[in-house]
Chain A
Amino acid sequence: MIRRETMARTIAAWLVRQTSKALPAHRSEWADAMRGELEYISSDYAALQWALGAFLASCLERMRVMDAESLRLPRWLLSLEMLLCFVPLTFFAAVLVAVLVNGVMPAGTALLNLSAAAVGPIGLVVAFRMIVLGRIALGRGTIVSLGLLAAWTLVAFSSLSIGGNGPIGEWWREYVLIALLPAVGSVHLICIGAYAPRPALS
């Protein structure tokens, strides 16, 4: 049967292809099973629904089998997570640098804020090294620094947000973007880097 490729069908095909990347190796047969079944679904809408479910199932299965020693996600998913975790804070850090340079804010205050925002660009650099350059193992110094910076970010922005007078509805989004997500990203990077196998010393 010749079927015209619609947008929904193309997206569905792409999604089911991702299942084999997301599923752990011992489940590869199940990725083939879900992908194969897609060819027998005649409705494009049903095929897209099927593919979305298959993709979700594969991501959940990946998360289920994760333990402390295998916190590594597929590269594309880790990239997405790291961008989400560190880009907003990096942007905030860039704004603070501009503020400092233009003298809009007292230098002491701007530097204090900048120190709390430093984990954004640093986290991005560590993630870049890990994802793009493949240097997964992190040294003890990097782990401790990243952990301390993330903790400082969380404490500083928590005290600013919670200590402020506004109701929670006014600041929770910013708090998630510049305090919680960078902390989550840092913890994930530390876990991956700390448990990564290290090259043997020659």
Chain B
Amino acid sequence: MQKRKCSKQTVALLSVLLVQPTKWRHGYELSKETGLKSGTLYPILMRLCDRGLLESSWQESPEAGRPPRHIYRLTRTGLALAREHAQTSELAATTSGLGEAGA
């Protein structure tokens, strides 16, 4: 797959999903944790699913009369990408910390 540069918002979403990579997450929960509004979050979720980085499913509500919820989690490829971005961010933070310490 061709590697693309991820937006800041996508990286934020990937890092939230990386905290518990096997857990299925709801859209609203992801919105609250990332601070992304639905208008930003859903296009990113769509793209990530299209690229095979995210898998989605439907979860029936335990309460009768409530609609099922769309849930998401990282795929193996998505997990690898999220880890890669996490390492890059850590490296950037370390480099920036060293730079400040050296100054």
A: which residues have CB within 8 A of B? 1, 27, 29-30, 32-37, 39-41, 49-57, 60-61
What is the bound-complex CA distance between A201 and B67, given in angstroms?
48
Interface of B is mostly: helix
Q: List 17 A-B contacts (CB under 8 A).
A: A29-B70, A30-B45, A32-B70, A34-B27, A35-B67, A36-B67, A36-B68, A37-B27, A37-B28, A39-B67, A40-B28, A40-B66, A49-B37, A50-B28, A53-B37, A53-B38, A57-B38
Binding site for A on B (CB under 8 A): 26-28, 31, 37-43, 45-46, 56, 63, 66-70
Binding site of A, secondary structure by majority: helix, strand, loop or mixed?
A: helix
Q: Which of A29, A37, A56, A61 contacts B69 (CB 8 A)?
A: A37
Does A41 contact B28, Cβ atoms closer than 8 Å?
A: yes
Complex formed: what's the CA distance from A191 to B37 in Å? Answer: 33
10 cross-chain pairs, A with B, having the tightest CB-CB distances, nearest first = A53-B38, A53-B39, A33-B70, A36-B67, A56-B39, A53-B37, A57-B42, A57-B39, A37-B27, A50-B38
Is B70 touching A36 in the complex (CB atoms < 8 A)? yes
Q: Flag if A33 contacts B27 (CB, 8 Å).
A: yes
What is the CB-to-nearest-CB distance from B43 to chain A, in angstroms, rounded to a whole number? 5
